[in-house]
Chain A
Amino acid sequence: MAGTASPTPPPETGTGSRAAGWWRRNRSQRALWLLAVPGIAYFAVFHYSAFVSNIIAFKQYVPFEGIWASPWAGFSNFSRLFGDPSFWAAAWNTLAISALQLVFFFPLPIALAVLLHSLAWKSVRTVFQSIIYLPHFISWVIVIALFQQILGGAGLLNGLLSDGGMHAVNIISNPGSFKPLAVAEIIWKDCGWGTIIFLASLANVPEQQYESAALDGCGPWGRFWHITLPALRPIIILLLIMRLGDILSVGFEQFLLQRPAVGPQAAEVLDTFVYYRGVLGGDWGFSAAAGLFKGVIGAILVYSANKIAHKMGEEGVYQ
């Protein structure tokens, strides 16, 4: 109100003063900014600037002519993509494998982490942890060769069956058993590695909480339900949201390597589809359209899941 004296100084609403405040705040945090520079540069160069390249989804891209000189294709790459049954077959395989991974693979590292955390002998826990981390560092080529050596048509299992006069079982090259096999492979390879983040969360739970609960007569299940699970819940929700964002990415090498054995009907996923069309087929615009589609669906899923998490009172990935 004009003419009325204010008991407190007016809030700084001018652009200049706000900017000055921003600079002041950040000057005092110079060291933190410096530490963040490599990370920011990484994301700026390899992630955000790469966004621009999505423009090739609207072009008939020719590598040696460059992005700008390549002719425009309008939405023809998208119309071809959505009209291609192979794309939908690959999308279906990807979703099916993703769902299987979500149901059978996602909970296992949590269970394993809880099991490890409950081990009283620290040395046993360390040895066990080291053993279960190891498969993560083995390349997919080796992992698949190992599975083939054991379960393949000429593998150990069929060798034993044949020696025993029994019929061979077709596991590796059977399209029907491929999806469960693919999930089993990823469980073997990455389940142990996946425990790290949950173990880190569990390490933050004060021992006193367990002791107090035990003194109050809480049994093992009660302690798990009332202490362990609440401690893990934020990280489970966070990883679940991130997994939903990646629902159309189930891996590449694992499927590329096994595709010849079971055929594209069983093993073609979106990433191998993009590889065959884009890298080998030279249909870069078409493949970029598939990639963009994947990205948009992933972003929508992350956004929606985050919203749902907020509604359920969780922090989610971001506010």
Chain B
Amino acid sequence: MTDRHHLTRRGLLTAGAGTAAGAALLLTGCDAPRAIRATNIGKKLAEWPDYVPAKAPKPDFPGNDAKGIQSAYLTYPTDLVTAVPEKPGNGETVTVALVTNEPVPPPLGRNTMWRAVNEALGVNLKLNFIPSASLSQKLAVMMASGDVPDIITCSDGVPTFEDFIATDLQDLTDHLSGSAIRDYPNLANLPTYSWQGVGLINGGIYGVPIQRPLPTPEMICNLDAFDKVGGLSDWTPDQFTQRMKALTGKKHWASGPVGKTDVDRHAGWRGAPNSWVLDSSGGFHPTEATAVYKDALAYIQKLVKDGVFYPDQVATPEAKTLMYGQTLYSMADTLPAYATNVAAVGSRFRFDFGRPYTIPGVTPKKWDGPGWVNYTVLKKGTPSRIKLMLRILNFLASPFGSKEYELIRFGVEGKHFTRDSHGQIQLSKLSQVENFNTLPLQYVCSPPLVAYFPGQPDAARRVWNYQTETSKYLVKNPSVGLRTAAKDRYGTVTGQILNDAATNIVNGRASVKSWDDALKEWRKQGGDKIAASLREEYAAVHGH
């Protein structure tokens, strides 16, 4: 017989579940994005770091900082300078989380390049390599665990991370704002657009940009193949289609797998503003809602139907392999990857970039990048510890033409490279394993990129020509560097909605008309809130 006052297990569970549910009901809850500290609204804004260009060897083709064009060198300088006279460290151990796109390199004990860098820095760098595809997950785990290394490479698009930066990581304003940056001359050599691209967080400077030129290469092509069908420029949309179709067939495709980036590029070529339309009253509207964007979707859908895109979804490394083997004749890729690409194919064929096509009455637009690829943030520490970290970053940002740059980029002379009789770099076999990609300190801090490719002066000339020719079409993305609660909360999900819808449409799984439904869903899931928040943040940061 059961005592009716006796508490059974079932009774306990029922009571517990009921209490929990009741308590949860009573507790007030809401779905509005929480206020974030990272926002700049109502904050005193830090002065941007002074820009003091470093002394550099005279380029063969000079860059243009205002337009974000790289300096190009046809040959390697023979008179190297010392950019950092004193070792930054004194035997300290420094932990670093950095992004990599390559397999993990040999460990420190068997890695000549890593040991040489440690020796030159005067510190023991403990590197935690994070595959770039896992960066979001790793940063989320880092936030949740609170286990933070001294130096962290990060990126936007990781929800709540910018707030984590503003709360738990080091404010670098006192060290880097205005003239304070002059203590770190190689960091002062980073162009202002890169700092602005990272933006202020909580009114201060928290992130050191890993600089990239403003023009973002979009369509990297096999120039030799395109030359046979009419080239990579002076074309209309119809001629573009014809040339792509001419290159396709017999197990060859004119382009790599299709994606939303292809639609973005073509929308820009057709005159669509960069990511957001900023109206005269300061309002933000998504460029995806423009008629031009829809035209671009329809155009790419037709190209997919014509079979010019590689039919299977493959990751970028696999697409590159297909490109190097000339199964593909073009793909979407980044500017720093151009260096790896030209080195990989050598003299087999030439790489170049597709120019915007022309439509009568339309001025094409080429969408600016943010001026950075990642940015580096630091764990909170004593002033002396923070200065050590900044001295390390300053060393890693040593410019082209310095001994420090040579070490980080090419390794140790006699081991990773030799010089020929003209003083030009000749890479050794060891450099295939130990190089700036497998030991990617370039993703911790790096100087402004220059166009120099050992043994391939024409490759430098081509990339400089491309940047110069297209710089007149560049348009900025007005949301770059802005920090808002709604963007943080809804940015990834709303981005995914448009990405999925665009992929469905171009692949013929949905009609172009369905784009309106996707935009409705985008608005419902927070897109409108993002637009409204950007308007406020833009006014706070830009003062109008």
Contact = CB atoms under 8 A, between A and B. Distances in A.
Interface of A: 58, 60, 62-64, 71-76, 80, 148, 152-155, 158-159, 162, 168, 170, 172-173, 175, 260-265, 276-277, 279-283
Contact of B167 (A64, A76, A276, A283): A64
Nearest to B146: A64
Contacts of B509: 175, 262-263, 265
Contacts of B140: 63, 279, 282
Contacts of A261: 312-313
B493 interface: yes
Interface stretch (B99-107, B288-296, B500-508): B500-508
B143 A173 contact: no
B89 to A, nearest CB: 29
A260 B168 CA distance: 36
B311 A265 contact: no
B429 interface: no
B489 interface: yes
B367 to A, nearest CB: 22
Contact of B143 (A60, A63, A158, A175): A63
Given A58-B24, A74-B24, A74-B25, 7 more contacts: A64-B144, A153-B310, A154-B312, A265-B509, A276-B496, A280-B136, A283-B159
Nearest to A73: B29
B311 A282 contact: no
Contacts of A64: 143-144, 146, 160, 163-164, 167-168
B495 to A, nearest CB: 9
B58 interface: no
A152 B311 CA distance: 8
Contacts of B312: 148, 152-155, 172-173, 261
Contacts of B507: 173, 263
Interface in B505-532: 507, 509
B34 A283 contact: no
Nearest to A59: B29
A298 B31 CA distance: 27
Nearest to A74: B29
Contacts of A279: 136-137, 140
A173 B34 contact: no
A153 B24 CA distance: 51
B517 to A, nearest CB: 11
B160 A263 contact: no
A72 B29 contact: yes
A159 B146 CA distance: 52
A282 B504 contact: no
A161 B30 CA distance: 57
12 contacts: A62-B34, A64-B163, A64-B167, A152-B311, A153-B311, A260-B313, A261-B313, A262-B509, A277-B493, A281-B492, A282-B159, A282-B160
Contacts of A71: 29, 34
A80 B504 contact: no
Interface string B137-167: 1001001101000000000001110011001
Contacts of A282: 140, 158-160, 488-489, 492
B34 A60 contact: yes
- 10 closest A-B pairs by beta carbon, nearest first, are A282-B159, A153-B311, A74-B29, A73-B29, A63-B144, A72-B27, A63-B143, A152-B312, A64-B143, A281-B493
A159 B29 contact: no
Contact of B27 (A74, A155, A162): A74
B498 to A, nearest CB: 12
B500 A76 contact: no
A172 B312 CA distance: 8
B384 interface: no
A74 B143 contact: no
Interface in B101-147: 136-137, 140, 143-144, 146
B2 interface: no
B251 interface: yes
Given A63-B160, A263-B509, A279-B137, A154 B503 contact: no
A159 B251 CA distance: 8
Contact of B160 (A62, A173, A262, A264): A62
Contacts of B488: 282
Contact of B311 (A58, A80, A173): A173
B28 interface: yes
B116 to A, nearest CB: 35
Contacts of B31: 60, 73, 76, 80
Pick the most buried of B159, B160, B312, B509: most chain A CB atoms within 10 A of its CB: B312
B492 A280 contact: yes
A283 B504 CA distance: 24
A280 B496 contact: yes
A156 to B, nearest CB: 11
Contacts of B504: 263, 265
Given A162-B251, A263-B503, A72 B496 contact: no
Interface string B13-52: 0000000000011011111001000000000000000000
A252 to B, nearest CB: 13
Nearest to A262: B509
A140 to B, nearest CB: 14
A265 B488 CA distance: 26
A223 B311 CA distance: 51
Nearest to A149: B312
A80 B327 CA distance: 46
B34 A154 contact: no
A152 B251 CA distance: 12
Nearest to B505: A263
Pick the most buried of B136, B311, B488: most chain A CB atoms within 10 A of its CB: B311
Contacts of A265: 504, 509
A76 B30 contact: yes
Contact of A260 (B24, B159, B503): B503
Given A282-B159, A282-B160, A73 B30 contact: yes
Contacts of A60: 29, 31, 34
Interface string B484-497: 00001100110010
A134 to B, nearest CB: 24
A71 B144 CA distance: 16
A209 to B, nearest CB: 42
Nearest to A152: B312
